[in-house]
Amino acid sequence: MVDVFQTEECKKYYSRLFNDNSNIVEGHELYVPKLQENEKLIRKMGSIMRPPVLKDHHVLFGTTAGKLYCIALIQ
C-alpha cells in the first residue's frame, strides 16, 4: 500500500470540496458561479502547483498555502 501525503491544510479543507471517492461534492461543480469559491478552497488546501525538487535524498516542494515541505526519502 502507498501512503498519500496530505498537507495539514488539505486535511482541513478537502472534505469541503471532495467526497470519500475523491469526486467533487454536489453543489461545488467546477463552473460559474462556484468557480472562484472552489479555486480559493483548492489554494487553501496547499495544492502543489510546480514540480518538486529532488536533492540529496530529499523531496522539496512549495504549496499554494505558502509553505515549503521537505520529505526525506528512505534508502
Q: For 1-59, what is the HEC assignment?
A: CCCCCCCHHHHHHHHHHECCCCCECCCCCCCCCCHHHHHHHHHHCCCCCCCCEEECCEE
Better-predicted residue by pLDDT, 71 or 30: 71
User: Tens digits of per-residue pLDDT, 6-38?
Assistant: 778 888 888 888 888 878 787 766 666 777 887
Where along the chain do its domains lie? 8-72
CA 31 to chain centre: 20
pTM for the full model? 0.57
Cα–Cα nearest to 10, from 38, 43, 55: 43
User: Tens digits of per-residue pLDDT, 35-53?
Assistant: 788 788 888 888 887 889 9
* Model pLDDT, residue 53: 93
C-alpha torsion 35→39→40→46, nearest 10 = 160
